[in-house]
Structure 1
């Protein structure tokens, strides 16, 4: 690992540790009214479960050298030296980003008996790398057992045993599918068995993508590259997004679609190419271009938001077809750009992010076109989008910009008071977690009384 990365990690460790020591004391000075039913205790874990994992950032070349992504507490490098809000953020750093934000949560308590919820600062996704790409590839059924043994048999085992994990939660910065390999698989396939361990069935797991059925998982937004430090920077971006001229009807930023086998990405690519190659194609509603394709194959867009944000700013609709899994970070990039998302299956967002993207309001900020209709029935996406009245398009964009954008972004840690008064993705995730745990504890207490 380069010495610069070692220095960065060392500074990061010191900052995290020092902030932990001070934030808890400050939090307990909050008034009872402000923190009623909102107290959170952070479990004290050995550093092998979180901070030590950062020092291995260059040891998984098959995955990525994630050392550069550790800067600014997981936000990554700035896109430009003069940038205040834009970073080259890797979504797999969400565990680190979330941990840093937890340390400044205003209702922390050092007494677990007073807590309404207990946060486990375990970097599950980073720890999974040794099972997915590293030396313990054939031992992925062990992932999480060391953590459980510590939680249940540590110096204070009553913290876990009090509610058998029902009041605990953690963040897992990968799709839940990466943690659901059956314990019986021999030889193991890709993934670990963390979420298949009965020991963790009661714990709330905040993941980048959840499965349709398990009740312990809840998907929360992928981090984008936009992390404003104060309200003026957020308002400046909002004003830019509102005023940008939308010269393109629809845009797809992504890869795939090259296979001869029928799939929605292939259909999007063919429709876009066919229209753009037809010199007689009509361009209406003042659009200069009906379809734009931003090729993000081989991960070339992952840490370079400039490649896709400018085209998204200039587009009315951003297509969000499923890929290897149903969800996409691009959904949230599009929202930050004020581009109306177009979904092709409900598991891409509607059945995932209920806390952040309210299910009952989907028609107010997005378009849904069944992928089967596009692939097998010849439905043209452009035709569907062009039939939406212009006034409705304007109202949908306003909903995306004014309502959704603040809800799905992760503001920068240490942000100003004005911005902290607006709930972001972290705040909404905490609210949802507290409500879910409260409901579970009430059910548990009712069972004890029976």
Structure 2
């Protein structure tokens, strides 16, 4: 059987609602219709996994419905997950969503299984980079031609999709000539009304909402989750602060937060409580991206995990750190506080994280390690316990997981809840009958 045929068979295993009164009550105001799209909008994009320009072969990360291959043969929860597979991961989970309806006119929301991030790659890196304003128009034309009344019913306000890249990659103004970077998908008037779930939202976002980057941990049952929580809770924290990432050495001499972190870590003093005050895991050239053992073990041994912005404000490492019970330290609000409100409530940030303005560090000499050392031990324990409680809500559990694990809402569940609420609010504001 071909790779594409296998993917097709796996992705059509949707279980539609039976219409029982119990389901009607549980699914009230929660019905979702999955729009049927031609394979050129999703599965065909996976078939080209080894042919995208400027990128490594993506084919190894298609396994296990986008979770990637297991980190080793005996692993039961750990996979080599690539963030670009979020669209596939989300699609697979949508197929087992309990409140699906085949009737789009009974649905409270319409899900478009369009792999927008993968479809954007030729516009970002390939020969179509000068045609960025065309990205998405083929989808719009299909939606207009195939049952256009579905799109028109609520002027597309009830539609949503997943885009496995930062929103800025889809936000190039149509007036840019020649194009600079990104496609113009979110700038197209045709898509102004949809809700886009992205890995990072813009500061002024209203179309999109950020959802967590997928980590490498995808438990299939409650026992595996609880076993990991126990390990993270009991782990000895012998290092005060850890930074796992690239951009630490080389490059421009211009002052920046990562350079300041390196300078501090190279000039640490002895501390009576911690074996080490600072540790760096060099993840340059993407060496950590699909190898979680490189950074998860050090994170389990650290009290604080530093999350400086890089090319963009957000980092997958934020969610890896939470998974390890390592208290995240942010240096600008766009890194998380103004991003992941459905998963990391903005009004609770001081309960599970530390904020140190990067300007104070880079330009005024504030020492990160001094700030962290001044936090009382009891406060550190309280922060870590709150981080541990966040773990179930920021991971994407494995598809077909056990009923027990499904009682705990994960990143997918919270994203669906938030999307339904957002769509409902927007429709009410526009006086649509819902």
Superposition TM-score, scaled by structure 2 size: 0.97
Matched position secondary structure for 1:239: helix
Measured in 1, the distance between the counterparts of 2:135 and 2:49 equals 18
Q: What is the aligned partner in structure 1 of residue 195 from structure 2?
A: 204
Q: What is the aligned partner in structure 1 of residue 413 from structure 2?
A: 427
Matched, 1:217 2:208: yes
Q: What is the aligned partner in structure 2 of residue 193 from structure 1?
A: 184
Matched, 1:294 2:286: no
Q: What is the aligned partner in structure 1 of residue 239 from structure 2?
A: 248
Shift of 1:419: 0.3
Structure 1 residues 98-117: aligned runs within 5 Å:
98-117=90-109
Q: What is the aligned partner in structure 1 of residue 169 from structure 2?
A: 178
RMSD of equivalent CA atoms = 1.3
Q: What is the aligned partner in structure 2 of residue 229 from structure 1?
A: 220
Q: Which moved more, 1:334-343 or 1:55-64?
A: 55-64
Q: Could you give the per-residue CA deviations for residues 96-154 of structure 1, whole angstroms, max 9, x where no partner exists?
A: 00000000000000001110111000000000011112232221110001111111221
After superposition, the Cα gap between the structure-2 partners of 1:26 and 1:94, relative to the gap in structure 1 and judged at 3 Å, is farther
Matched position secondary structure for 1:31: helix
Q: What is the aligned partner in structure 2 of residue 354 from structure 1?
A: 341
Q: What is the aligned partner in structure 2 of residue 282 from structure 1?
A: 270
Matched position secondary structure for 1:229: coil
Q: Is the 8 A contact 2:31 2:108 kept in 1?
A: yes
Shift of 1:324: 0.4
Shift of 1:30: 5.7
Q: What is the aligned partner in structure 2 of residue 269 from structure 1?
A: 262
Matched, 1:342 2:336: no
Q: What is the aligned partner in structure 2 of residue 437 from structure 1?
A: 423
Q: Is the 8 A contact 2:239 2:275 kept in 1?
A: yes
Matched, 1:260 2:253: yes
Query: Could you say which structure has the higher helix fraction?
Result: 1
Measured in 1, the distance between the counterparts of 2:23 and 2:284 equals 51
Q: Is the 8 A contact 1:8 1:71 kept in 2?
A: no
Measured in 1, the distance between the counterparts of 2:185 and 2:272 equals 52
Q: Is the 8 A contact 2:53 2:122 kept in 1?
A: no
Matched, 1:91 2:94: no
Shift of 1:182: 1.2
Q: What is the aligned partner in structure 1 of residue 29 from structure 2?
A: 37
Matched position secondary structure for 1:270: helix
Measured in 2, the distance between the counterparts of 1:308 and 1:196 equals 37
Structure 1 residues 320-339: aligned runs within 5 Å:
320-339=307-326
Q: What is the aligned partner in structure 1 of residue 392 from structure 2?
A: 406
Measured in 2, the distance between the counterparts of 1:27 and 1:46 equals 27
Matched, 1:24 2:16: yes
- Among residues 387, 392, 416, which one is paired with 2:402 in the alignment? 416
Shift of 1:58: 0.7
Q: What is the aligned partner in structure 1 of residue 136 from structure 2?
A: 144
Q: Is the 8 A contact 1:257 1:264 kept in 2?
A: no
Matched position secondary structure for 1:319: strand
Q: Is the 8 A contact 2:33 2:109 kept in 1?
A: yes
Q: Is the 8 A contact 2:32 2:101 kept in 1?
A: yes
Q: Could you give the per-residue CA deviations for residues 188-207 of structure 1, whole angstroms, max 9, x where no partner exists?
A: 12210000001101000000
Q: What is the aligned partner in structure 2 of residue 3 from structure 1?
A: none
Q: What is the aligned partner in structure 2 of residue 13 from structure 1?
A: 8
Shift of 1:250: 0.3
Q: Could you give the per-residue CA deviations for residues 278-332 of structure 1, whole angstroms, max 9, x where no partner exists?
A: xxx22122x1010000000010100000000000000000000000000000000
Matched position secondary structure for 1:413: coil
Measured in 2, the distance between the counterparts of 1:7 and 1:236 equals 38
Shift of 1:26: 5.1
Q: What is the aligned partner in structure 2 of residue 278 from structure 1?
A: none
Shift of 1:170: 0.3
Matched position secondary structure for 1:222: coil
Q: Is the 8 A contact 1:141 1:192 kept in 2?
A: yes
After superposition, the Cα gap between the structure-2 partners of 1:376 and 1:440, relative to the gap in structure 1 and judged at 3 Å, is same
Q: Is the 8 A contact 2:3 2:47 kept in 1?
A: no
Q: Is the 8 A contact 1:27 1:105 kept in 2?
A: no
